[in-house]
Every structure is written in structure tokens, then in C-alpha cells.
Amino acid sequence: MVREITGGCCCGSVAFKLEDNFKKFFFCHCEQCRKLTGSAHASNLFTAPNNIQWLKGAEKTKRYEHPSRSFAKVFCTDCGSPLPFVSKSGKFLIVPAGSLNAEPSKVVDAQIFCAEQTQWHKAGIEAGKLPGFPV
């Protein structure tokens, strides 16, 4: 039996559940993913398009579709948290790993678009590690 995982946005307005049945898991360093996440890379899991049940707040989601390129983002209209969405091709449900409430069983398959990885991210990997916010 496949385990279910819940997820949602930061403010709690949107919630979903899905099966922990992911086909691929990528860290994407492309410029578009950095812009869409505000971070060094996107962390996206790929699963079947119908592998989601919205528990609440589906009406509080908004989809941004780039007008000339093949990428999109769905987010909570209250807090802006990224949320799962069906790819433009309709082949995959793309799930931002950070939107999940538990660790998926799938491990990262690859880091992609590494030619676009920032120097500050490469340096940051080597930086000191703290258990929380520095005092």
C-alpha cells in the first residue's frame, strides 16, 4: 500500500493530499526556477497528474503561466507559497517538495541546469551550519 502525504501552504489556507508515488525528483538551478522560488533552486517532485486531492482552499490558488516559455507556477493567493500544479504538457503533477508536510520516500534523482547554478549557492553549500537563526 502506498503511503499518503499531506501538504499545503504556509498560512494554512490551502491543503492537499497525495500518494507518495513520485517518478522523479529534481533540484533545478535554471534562472526561471530561481526567480519563481526566490531561492538557489527549485525542488520539484514529479508524479501522475491525477495524484492529488485538494482538501481545502483550491479556490485560493492562482496559476502563473509564462507567455512564451514552457513553465508555470501555482501559489496561494493569501501567502504566496508554491503549490502543486499540472505541467503545461499535462503529463505530470509537479509538486514543490517544500509544500509537503512529510519527507517523500523518493530521493533526488539529479540536479539539473547546473550550468546556471549561482556562485553564491556554491559558496553557501560550504558555509558554516547553525541549528537556528544566529543570535
pLDDT band at residue 41, thresholds of 50, 70 and 90? Answer: very high
CATH of 4-122, one of 1.10.3720.10, 3.40.50.300, 2.170.150.70, 2.160.20.10: 2.170.150.70
Q: Distance between CA 53 and CA 78 in Å, rounded?
A: 20
The residue to which cell 504566496 is assigned? 80
Is pLDDT at 68 greater than 80 in this prediction?
Answer: no
* pLDDT score recorded for residue 69: 74
In the chain the first and final C-alpha atoms are separated, in Å, by 45
Q: 64, 73 in Cβ contact below 8 A?
A: yes
Average pLDDT, the chain: 94
Residues 54, 67, 59: CA angle, nearest 5 degrees: 20
